[in-house]
Amino acid sequence: MQIRQRTTHTTMPSDFHPHAIIIGAGIAGLTAALEIVKKGKKVLLLDQESEQNLGGQAFWSLGGLFFINSPLQRRMGIKDSLSLARQDWMGTAGFDRKEDHWPRKWAEAYLEFAAGPKYQYVRDLGISFFPVVSWAERGDGTATGHGNSVPRFHIPWGTGTGIIKPFIKKAYAAQKNGLLRMKFRHQVTNLVDNGLKISGVQGHLLAPATEVRGQATNRQVIGSFEFQAPDIVVSSGGIGANLELVRKNWPTRLGTPPKSMVSGVPDYVDGKMIGVAELAGANVINRDRMWHYTEGIKNYDPIWSNHGIRILPGPSSLWFTATGQRLPPPYLPGFDTLGTLEHIRKSGHDYSWFILTQSIIKKEFALSGSEQNPDLTNRDYKLLLKRAFGSKATGPVEAFKKRGVDFVVADRIEDLVTGMNNLAGNSLLNLDHVRDQISARDQQMDHKYSKDLQVTYLRGTRNFLGDKLFRTAKPHKILDPKNGPLIAVRLHILTRKTLGGIETNLDGQVLQKNGTVLSGLYAAGEASGFGGGGYHGYRALEGTFLGGCIFSGMKAGRHIGKK
């Protein structure tokens, strides 16, 4: 794209002297801003995107939040505790590095927050929740290892849109009151160091953009800017849409980087601001820790480049490698995301397969994203009842089954496997091998006992009312025609979250490589690994990404606000 000569240079208006400049208008940045303006202090909020994208990536999410011993958990009879959650978190994180000092402290602080004031904090914002708690990342099958021992994933009414709505409303109110100014199409390219501290920002003024939320916008430079403030907050997100950086940082423990991936986040999630902060002296740690999903499908109606959607599966679908080998436990749908990713990458292929039935898809398939869940997003009880008791899957899932390029539907296993090979453009799947594995599993359904751990798992999950009503189909034989048609789904690796990031102390202050504070600079949200430079460690429990944005933004904002 041709870059025009700069024609304007903008500086701070004489009538507005902010106490803080925040870079990035997602949930972390908005939270920090609102905490600062609560103290009567002024904030300048900058974002490289247009105003249509206010609220950031959260808009596109399911919006789930992780709570410990919440009122909704107690109402459902879920016995949770801080000690159990700590055991789950630490077994999942696997902290084992010297640089995990601050991430571990952030994890401990966040657990206290999630078990204490977090629920009331978001309820006071006006966020309410679907009453059925979900069970995400069920783990590796051990009590001390990865995963949630109990359901902790709380879905808000409105999904991601329900999360960002109160933040945006309060931001506009602060703007009206003269405490907050928002400047869009302002791309920060440099942090100014006055010799004593980080004291300002410089960057490009980008041409106006009218694209709808999520679509890629131009990078045409029409001017420059420079603003100063006592404190600067970096809350610009991670690297999920920057596939070059994803591959560069890909850890060897997960095999080789995929040649083919789909993107679970908009183009603007490019990670460039993390590099700008590093050039200014920030210490960036745990770059090799990241969170990508293995159940990605190509969006037939894409919004951003290489747009992928994640399937949120229940436990019944059979999972196969590209060559038709069934995945072993604990690499089952909804159990161990990164363990499954490692297994798939070491199979030598970039994709895998689900094989399931119409009975399974109608009960167990959900798609990540506010736009893919109109019942929860719009608080539509009629659609919710259809999700639980209808003869078809939700409208968006049925649309993908019909129009999605990754779906194969057939009445017979012979036709299904032929269609899978045709879709993949190869002959890696052997009909007899695939059929024999499914038949062996189906024989386990003839009695109430089973040595097939997936069958045991799915029977056990139905003891939880939430799973029985909304997430787990009645156990049945895959090859029984009455449960058909048969469905196969080609699954891509879908990029999503940066687990490492800018190292910070518990006040959100950015640290240098020598461990000292880089005065004047803070970081929050995904840019800081959701706290400290990576409070998840190697893995996540889900519902902890948006929660980490809120928590880290709150901590940075409160520290600035009390100065």
DSSP H or E stretch at residue 278: helix 272-279
| Percentage of residues in the chain having pLDDT higher than 70 | 99
Reported as type and span, the H/E element at residue 521 is: strand 517-523
Q: For residue 545, give the nearest of 291, 288, 166 by alpha carbon.
A: 291
Do residues 296 and 243 touch, judged by C-beta distance below 8 A?
Answer: no
pLDDT, residue 7, reads 64
Phi, psi of 227 (to 5 degrees): -130, 150
The beta strand positions in 101-163, using DSSP E, are 153-154
CA neighbor of 539 nearest in space, from 237, 286, 315: 286
Q: Which pLDDT value is given to residue 483?
A: 96
Tell me: pLDDT of 141 over 60: yes
- 85: pLDDT strictly greater than 80: yes
More confident residue, 239 or 376: 239
Return the bridge partners of 198, or none. Answer: 193
Whether residue 520 is predicted with pLDDT greater than 80 in this model: the reply is yes
Walk across the sheet containing 20-23 and list its strands.
180-184, 43-47, 20-23, 231-234, 517-523, 509-511
Instruction: Please provide the average confidence, as pLDDT, over all residues in the chain.
Output: 95
**What is the rounded distance in angstroms from the CA atom of residue 186 to the CA atom of residue 44?**
11
What average pLDDT does this structure show over 429-452? 96
Helices (H), 444-488: 453-461, 465-466
In a 13 Å sphere around the CA of 467, the CA atoms on its Cβ side amount to 24
Alpha-carbon span 518 to 197, nearest angstrom: 7
Q: Please name every residue paired with 192 in a beta bridge, in sequence order, or none if there are none.
A: 200
Q: CA quadruple 27, 540, 66, 385: dihedral positive or negative?
A: positive
Percent helix, strand and coil across the chain, each to the nearest 5: 35, 20, 40
Residue 376: phi and psi, rounded to 5, are -75, -35
C-alpha–C-alpha distance, residues 527 and 309, integer Å: 23
Tens digit of each residue's pLDDT (9 = 90 or more) over 445-499: 998 899 999 999 999 888 888 888 888 999 999 999 999 999 999 999 999 999 9
Q: What is the DSSP string of 302-364?
A: -SSTTBEEEEE--S-SEEEETTSPBPPTT-STTT-HHHHHHHHHTTT-SEEEEEEEHHHHHHH
The answer, yes or no, to whether residue 127 has pLDDT greater than 90, is yes
- What CA–CA distance (Å, rounded) separates 297 from 459? 27
Q: Partners of 125 in the beta sheet?
A: none
Task: Show Cβ contacts of residue 108 under 8 Å, excluding neighbours closer than 6 positions.
Answer: 86
- In this predicted structure, what is the pLDDT of residue 122? 97
Q: Answer yes or no: is pLDDT of 388 > 80.
A: no
Radius of gyration of the chain, Cα coordinates, nearest whole angstrom: 24
| Across 271-275, average pLDDT | 98
pTM reported for the whole predicted model: 0.96
Give which of 452, 475, 453, 451 is closest to 463, Cα–Cα: 475
- Determine which helix (DSSP H) or strand (DSSP E) holds 396, and give its type and residue range: helix 395-403
Cβ distance 341 to 254 under 8 Å?
A: yes
Helix (DSSP H) and strand (DSSP E) numbers for the chain: 18, 22
Cα torsion through 369, 374, 380, 383, rounded to 10: -110
DSSP for 398-449, please give it: HHHHHH-TTEEEESSHHHHHHHHHHHHTS----HHHHHHHHHHHHHGGGSS-
Q: In 3D, which of 126, 19, 7 has the Cα closest to residue 563?
A: 19
Running DSSP on this structure, what letter comes out for residue 210?
-
Task: Give the confidence band of 12 by pLDDT, cuts at 50, 70, 90.
Answer: confident
Q: Which residues of 301-321 are buried (b: 16+ CB within 10 A; e: fewer)?
A: eebbebbbbbbbbbbbbbbbb
Cα separation, 217 vs 211, in Å, equals 7
The mean per-residue pLDDT over the stretch 363-374 comes to: 90
Interatomic CA distance for residues 353 and 491, integer angstroms: 6
405 and 424 Cβ atoms separated by less than 8 Å:
no
Q: How far apart are CA 251 and CA 210, in angstroms?
A: 38
- Cα–Cα distance for residue pair 491/298, rounded to 1 Å: 9
**pLDDT tens figures, 151-162:** 999 999 999 999
Going by pLDDT thresholds of 50, 70 and 90, the confidence category of residue 383 is confident
- Planar angle of CA 120, 34, 22, nearest 5 degrees: 135
Give yes or no for residue 1 having a pLDDT over 70.
no
Is residue 243 helix, strand or coil? helix
What's the rounded Cα separation, in Å, for the pair 455 and 334? 14
Average pLDDT over residues 498-506: 98
Residue 12: helix, strand or coil by DSSP? coil
Structure tokens at 309: 């959607």
pLDDT digits (tens, 9 = 90+) for 212-223: 999 999 999 999
Residue 410 pLDDT grade (very low, low, confident, very high; cuts 50, 70, 90): very high
pLDDT at 2 > cutoff 50: no
Enumerate residues 6+ apart whose C-beta is below 8 A from 217. 49, 50, 206, 209, 211, 267, 268
Between 283-297, 465-479, 498-512, the lowest mean confidence (pLDDT) is in 465-479
